[in-house]
C-alpha cells in the first residue's frame, strides 16, 4: 500500500513498529517526473506527493486496520497541506495496489466522512513515477527525535497514533 499524509517522516514513523508491517519506506509518487529528488518534490513542480510504501503481512494486520492508522496520523480534511507543510506534495492520498484495495480504500474514505466535521479531501491515485526517497529520509524520526520539526510535529503525531492504536504495536 502507498499512502500520502503530509510529511513522510510522520507517516513512516507511525507504521514502523506496527505488528505485521514488514517495511515502511518514504517515497515519492503521483507526479510527472521520473526519479525526482527531495528538493525537486519539495518545490511542488513535479506533481509528486511525499508517500510511504507500507509492506505488510495481511495474515497479521489487515489493510483496513492500516487505513484506520492512516486516518489517525494526519488530517484528511486539509487540502494540499498538513499544518504548516503546504503544497500538493503534502496532499492526502491513497495509492491502492489492486482493485480490492481501491474498493476498501473508497469505502474507508466514505466511512471517515461520517467521523470528520469537514469534508474528506483524500484522493485515490495511481502511483505514477514511484521512487523510494533518498536514504537520509529513511527512519528519519527514529534517528532525529530531538530535531526541531521532529520534536514539534512528528513526535506528537506518532504519540497520538500509538495512544489510539496501542494494541497494534510490538
- CA 15/CA 22 separation, integer angstroms: 9
- Residue 170 confidence (pLDDT): 79
Burial class (CB in 10 A: 0-12, 13-18, 19+), 146: exposed
- Residue 10 confidence (pLDDT): 96
Closest Cα partner for 41 from 139, 130, 147?
130
In this structure, which topology does domain 2-168 adopt according to CATH? 3.30.1060
Q: What is the pTM of this model?
A: 0.95
137, 8 in Cβ contact below 8 A?
A: yes
Does the active-site annotation cover 7?
A: yes
The pLDDT > 90 percentage for the chain reads: 98
What pLDDT, in 10s, does the model give residues 92-135?
Answer: 999 999 999 999 999 999 999 999 999 999 999 999 999 999 99
- Residue 125 confidence (pLDDT): 97
Amino acid at each position: 500500500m502507498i499512502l500520502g499524509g503530509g510529511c513522510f517522516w510522520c507517516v513512516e514513523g507511525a507504521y514502523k513498529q506496527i505488528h505485521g508491517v514488514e517495511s515502511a519506506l518514504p517515497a515519492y509518487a503521483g507526479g510527472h517526473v521520473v526519479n525526482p529528488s527531495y528538493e525537486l518534490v519539495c518545490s511542488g513542480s513535479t506533481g509528486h506527493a511525499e508517500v510511504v510504501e507500507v509492506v505488510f503481512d495481511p495474515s497479521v494486520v489487515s489493510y483496513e486496520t492500516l487505513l484506520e492508522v492512516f486516518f489517525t496520523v494526519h488530517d484528511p480534511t486539509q487540502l494540499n497541506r498538513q499544518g504548516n507543510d503546504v503544497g500538493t506534495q503534502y496532499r492526502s492520498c491513497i495509492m491502492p495496489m489492486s482493485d480490492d484495495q481501491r474498493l476498501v480504500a473508497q469505502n474507508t474514505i466514505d466511512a471517515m466522512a461520517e467521523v470528520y466535521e469537514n469534508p474528506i479531501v483524500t484522493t485515490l491515485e495511481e502511483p505514477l513515477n514511484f521512487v523510494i526517497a533518498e536514504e537520509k529520509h529513511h527512519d528519519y524520526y527514529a534517528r532525529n527525535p530531538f530535531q526541531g520539526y521532529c520534536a514539534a510535529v512528528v513526535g506528537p503525531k506518532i504519540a497520538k497514533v500509538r495512544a489510539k492504536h496501542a494494541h497494534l504495536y510490538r
